[in-house]
Amino acid sequence: MTLWGGCFEGETNERVRQFGDSISFDRRLAAADVRGSMAYAEALHRAGVLTAEELAQLVAGLEGIADEIASGELVVGAGDEDVHSAVERRLTERVGATAGKLHTGRSRNDQVATDLRLYLMGVIPRLREELGGLQEAVVDKAAQHLAVVMPGYTHLQQAQPMLFSHWLMSYFWKLERDANRLLDVEGRIDVCPLGSGAVAGTAYPIDRATLARRLGFSAPSENSLDAVEDRDFVAEMLMWAALLQVHLSTLAETLIVWSSTEFGFIQLADAYATGSSLMPQKRNPDTLELMRGKAGRLIGLAAGFLCTLKGLPSGYNKDLQEDKEALFDSLDTVELEVPLAADLIRTLEIDTDRMARACSDGLLATDLADYLVARGVPFRRSHFLVGQAVLRAEQRGVPLRHLTSAEYAAIAPCFGRDLYKVFDLRRSIAARSARGGTAADAVKAQIDEARRRLSAARRS
């Protein structure tokens, strides 16, 4: 039974029902829907539309349905077009005709917008907690491995020596931006559309500010038309998840490369790898590969929904129903994945020996140029002279430190006999002690700052 059949003669085509019904996915809004209805019943009572008795009846009925939802007992049937219809149908079964008063001045347009916002306001604190957990795993791991030296890369080529902890902490800051962005989005979700009716507002004297407050929102929406058609917050959540997922994809890519036999820097715990059905030796970083691959999925969901919104005429349009599956898929992915990433970081085994052995002399070429700078050579010229040394070493097939003083002097007399002191990874690292650098103290300062932020976030 639909909520709207009065002026219809023909039956809904079965394919149409299947195409348009949303009950298969919007049922996860059931608890929010009931909560919204309770607050709305109270508002109708305050507005003089419902008697105290009617209110009590509706609230009791809705509480019963809330219990059914919590226990999984609520049955939604083939006849239920969407979650709102299902709840209204069930309420009618429980309290009779009074149920028909609950929709007074309310439309599914303002109702679903409210439900979706309520739902998200429940999800976001959990997301924030999960993100914080991942950040904590990153910080703890970084704090534990402050002595581990490895090659830093740009262009996947060895660039300069770096602490493993410095590398890891680079992800803390990406996640910190993600956490920030989430706060921003949350602020825009925190607006209550209820009381906007179908499009033009409500004709009943609903106190919308109180209604909003009762549902935990900071404020009611300012324009009824905008209130029912606005899905910016869904688009924002999707874009938020897509960028977070991009971050995870780069973490995954880096670890996949590092877990290759050739790099051998890390090993995933068995719990995070899988084998091959054919090749008995395989330990594949499947989890990481999915983490990388799912970035495509989440980018597609965000772009797809923006495209759905593009060019819609003013007013609620049914196209907006496409918001839910995208949103739920995106958030489910992130909610499964973020704690998993935390576990994975925590259990990651690092082969410090392989990392150390991987460091080539080329990593210290910048230090060699800096050495010349200290001897008064302008940097651009130092850079060129060290480049020449690199070329010479390659031609001879030896590392930079194996070129003799004479060879260096032949390139330029400004190379002194003390140049060999630069071939020391720890010295290079220690030199990068300005804020944000890879020197141990700078990394410790980073970790302290990170912990300060995490605990501030926990307190807020």
Question: Which distant-in-sequence residues (6+ apart) come within 8 Å of 155 by Cβ?
Answer: none
Kindly state the tokens that stand for 452: 């300060």
DSSP 131-158: HHHHHHHHHHHHHHTTT-EEEEEETTEE
Kindly state the tokens that stand for 162: 């770096």
Closest to a copy of itself by CB, 52 or 271: 271
- What residues numbered 376-395 form the site for a copy of itself, per CB under 8 A? 378-391, 394
Among 117, 128, 294, 324, binds a copy of itself (CB under 8 A): 294
Closest to a copy of itself by CB, 19 or 72: 19
Closest to a copy of itself by CB, 77 or 293: 293
How many Cα atoms are found within 13 Å in the side-chain-facing hemisphere of 171?
31
Strands, E assignment, 209-270: 219-220, 266-267
352 binds a copy of itself, rule: CB under 8 A: no
79 binds a copy of itself, rule: CB under 8 A: no
- Distance, in Å, from the CA atom of 195 to the CA atom of 107, rounded to the nearest integer, reads 9
Smallest gap from Cβ 204 to a copy of itself, in A, equals 7
Smallest gap from Cβ 273 to a copy of itself, in A, equals 8
107 binds a copy of itself, rule: CB under 8 A: yes
Cβ 224 vs Cβ 201: under 8 Å: yes
- What residues numbered 198-257 form the site for a copy of itself, per CB under 8 A? 198-209, 220-230, 232, 235-236, 239, 242-243, 246, 249-254, 256-257
DSSP 335-360: HHHHHHHHHHHHH-EE-HHHHHHH--
- Distance, in Å, from the CA atom of 65 to the CA atom of 80, rounded to the nearest integer, reads 15
Cβ 363 vs Cβ 161: under 8 Å: yes
Smallest gap from Cβ 128 to a copy of itself, in A, equals 16
Q: Known catalytic residue: 155?
A: yes
Question: Nearest 5 degrees, angle CA 457-CA 458-CA 460?
Answer: 65
| Number of Cβ within a 10 Å radius of residue 446 | 22
Smallest gap from Cβ 404 to a copy of itself, in A, equals 18
- What residues numbered 17-36 form the site for a copy of itself, per CB under 8 A? 18-20
Q: Known catalytic residue: 22?
A: no
Q: Which stretch binds a copy of itself (CB under 8 A): 32-40, 72-80, 122-130, 371-379?
A: 371-379
- What residues numbered 392-431 form the site for a copy of itself, per CB under 8 A? 394, 400, 428-429, 431
Residues near a copy of itself (CB under 8 A), total: 206
Kindly state the tokens that stand for 330: 């995106």
Closest to a copy of itself by CB, 123 or 251: 251
Closest to a copy of itself by CB, 146 or 312: 312
Smallest gap from Cβ 427 to a copy of itself, in A, equals 10
- Name the catalytic one among 24, 218, 276, 455: 276
Closest to a copy of itself by CB, 31 or 249: 249
- What residues numbered 59-78 form the site for a copy of itself, per CB under 8 A? none
Among 66, 116, 131, 369, binds a copy of itself (CB under 8 A): 369
- What residues numbered 120-179 form the site for a copy of itself, per CB under 8 A? 151-162, 166-167, 169-174, 177
The residue among 346, 344, 351 whose CA lies nearest residue 271 is: 344
Cβ 136 vs Cβ 194: under 8 Å: no
Q: How far is CA 229 from CA 118, 123, 143, 214, in A?
A: 16, 22, 48, 23
Smallest gap from Cβ 71 to a copy of itself, in A, equals 23
Smallest gap from Cβ 264 to a copy of itself, in A, equals 8
**What burial letters (b/e) apply to 106-139, b meaning 16+ CB within 10 Å?**
bbbbbbbbbbbbbbbbebbeebbebbbbbbbbbb
- Name the catalytic one among 155, 277, 314, 460: 155
Closest to a copy of itself by CB, 70 or 209: 209
Three-class SS state of 126? helix
Closest to a copy of itself by CB, 116 or 368: 368
List residues with catalytic annotation: 155, 276
